[in-house]
């Protein structure tokens, strides 16, 4: 049925060297689904940003945790959930801090971080962040090249 | 997932070539290589032709280098950016702040 969904799950140690592994897996899943080169590159950045946040902020030196990643493969979209069990952060505050640079920024005002959330929101169609004991980021990107009449065609075959 | 940073000192500036992926894992190494040059106020030209992946961690490094090198009287120029990298600098607004130039010829996959 058109509502079917496949899940691919992975768990990585919350360490920088494993973020690239998530990217490789994502790349495989997304290209199998038929995303364009540009969409795959956008997905890679957005998902890496979520993993980077988890790796950098969720755990301290004594408390090394894991980051869970789940790819939900739908017919018309890919949903990626990145979750950690570390310290949560104030999302409202973060959202106020995020945003692109503008030429009115002086050189001293340029922040060296904080672009991650902005990039996720810009590069994905939907982003939801839930912050309780840890942070969970759920993001969705639709398959743009999807043929709208595809389902109808199959249905016609079935009824004939 | 290899990353290399090569440097060549010319009479007037320093030419740096970065190749590979710049992410949360490799960004600290890039920063470590570039910061000393920024602190000396060098004129830095960085070729990004062979950078096939970069995210906000890489942008953060270049913002930091740009801030330092500007303060020390040097300059930063990023060259041979792919369309993907140009886009990243565009959507973050950094294109209007840091001197970047795209590749001169087209013809990429």
pLDDT of residue B51: 97
Q: Report if residue A151 sits inside a domain.
A: no
Torsional sign, CA B55, B56, B61, B63: positive
pLDDT tier at A27, thresholds 50, 70, 90: very high
pLDDT of residue A158: 44
Q: Does the pLDDT at position A110 exceed 80?
A: no
Cβ–Cβ of B60/A112 closer than 8 Å? yes
Question: Domain range for residue A36?
Answer: 4-140
How does DSSP classify residue B105?
S
Cβ–Cβ of B60/A56 closer than 8 Å? no
Q: Does the pLDDT at position B24 exceed 70?
A: yes
Cβ–Cβ of A19/B1 closer than 8 Å? no
Cβ of B57 under 8 Å from any chain A Cβ?
Answer: yes
Q: Which chain B residue's Cα is nearest to A37?
A: B109
Per CB-CB distance under 8 Å, the chain A contacts of B93 are 100-103
pLDDT tier at B103, thresholds 50, 70, 90: low
CA-CA distance, B14 to B10, in Å (whole number)?
Answer: 6
Cβ–Cβ of A101/B21 closer than 8 Å? no
Query: What CATH number corresponds to the domain at position A28?
Result: 3.30.565.10
pTM reported for the whole predicted model = 0.84
Cβ–Cβ of A119/B94 closer than 8 Å? no
What average pLDDT does range B15-39 have in this prediction?
97
Q: Point out the least confidently predicted range of A53-57, A130-134, B21-25.
A: A130-134
Q: Does the pLDDT at position A43 exceed 60?
A: yes
The string of pLDDT tens digits covering residues A48-99 is 999 999 998 777 666 678 999 999 999 999 999 999 987 665 656 666 566 7
What average pLDDT does range B58-84 have in this prediction?
96
Q: Mean pLDDT, chain B, as a whole number?
A: 92
Q: Report if residue A152 sits inside a domain.
A: no
pLDDT of residue B2: 81
Q: Which chain A residue's Cα is nearest to B61?
A: A112
Cβ of A102 under 8 Å from any chain B Cβ?
Answer: yes
Cβ of B63 under 8 Å from any chain A Cβ?
Answer: yes
Q: Report if residue A79 sits inside a domain.
A: yes
How does DSSP classify residue A104?
T
In chain A, % of residues over pLDDT 90: 57
Q: Report if residue A145 sits inside a domain.
A: no
Q: Report if residue A160 sits inside a domain.
A: no
pLDDT of residue A150: 41
Long-range contacts of the stretch A8-13 (C-beta < 8 A, 24+):
A8/A70, A8/A71, A8/A73, A9/A68, A9/A69, A9/A70, A9/A71, A10/A68, A10/A69, A10/A70, A11/A66, A11/A67, A11/A68, A11/A69, A12/A51, A12/A66, A12/A67, A12/A69, A13/A64, A13/A66, A13/A67
Among B3, B41, B57, B70, the strongest candidate for a mutation testing the A interface, having the largest count of A CBs within 10 A, is B57
Cβ of A108 under 8 Å from any chain B Cβ?
Answer: yes
Query: What is the count of structural domains for chain A?
Result: 1
Cβ of B108 under 8 Å from any chain A Cβ?
Answer: no
* ∠ CA B101-B102-B107, rounded to 5°: 160
């Amino acid at each position: 049925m058109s509502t079917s969904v496949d899940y691919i799950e992975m768990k990585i140690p919350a360490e920088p060297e494993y973020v690239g592994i998530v990217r490789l897996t994502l790349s495989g899943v997304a290209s199998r689904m038929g995303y364009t080169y540009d969409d795959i590159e956008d997905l890679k950045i957005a998902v890496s940003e979520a993993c980077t946040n988890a790796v950098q902020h969720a755990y301290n030196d004594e408390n090394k945790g894991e980051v869970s990643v789940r790819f939900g493969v739908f017919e018309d979209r890919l949903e990626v959930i990145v979750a950690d069990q570390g310290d949560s952060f104030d999302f409202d505050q973060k959202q106020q801090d995020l945003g692109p640079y503008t030429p009115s920024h002086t050189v001293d005002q340029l922040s060296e971080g904080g672009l991650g959330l902005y990039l996720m929101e810009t590069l994905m169609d939907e982003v939801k962040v839930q912050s309780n004991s840890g942070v969970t980021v759920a993001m969705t990107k639709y398959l743009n090249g999807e043929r709208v009449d595809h389902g109808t065609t199959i249905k016609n075959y079935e009824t004939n | 997932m290899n990353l290399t940073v090569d440097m060549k000192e010319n009479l007037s500036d320093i030419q740096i070539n970065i190749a590979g992926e710049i992410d949360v894992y490799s960004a600290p190494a890039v920063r470590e290589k570039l910061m000393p040059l920024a602190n000396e106020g060098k004129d830095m030209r960085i070729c990004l032709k062979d950078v096939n992946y970069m995210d906000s961690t890489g942008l953060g490094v270049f913002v930091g280098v740009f801030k330092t090198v500007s303060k020390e009287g040097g300059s930063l120029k990023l060259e041979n950016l792919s369309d993907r990298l140009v886009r990243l600098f565009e959507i973050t607004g950094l294109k209007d702040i840091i001197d970047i130039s795209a590749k001169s010829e087209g013809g990429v996959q």
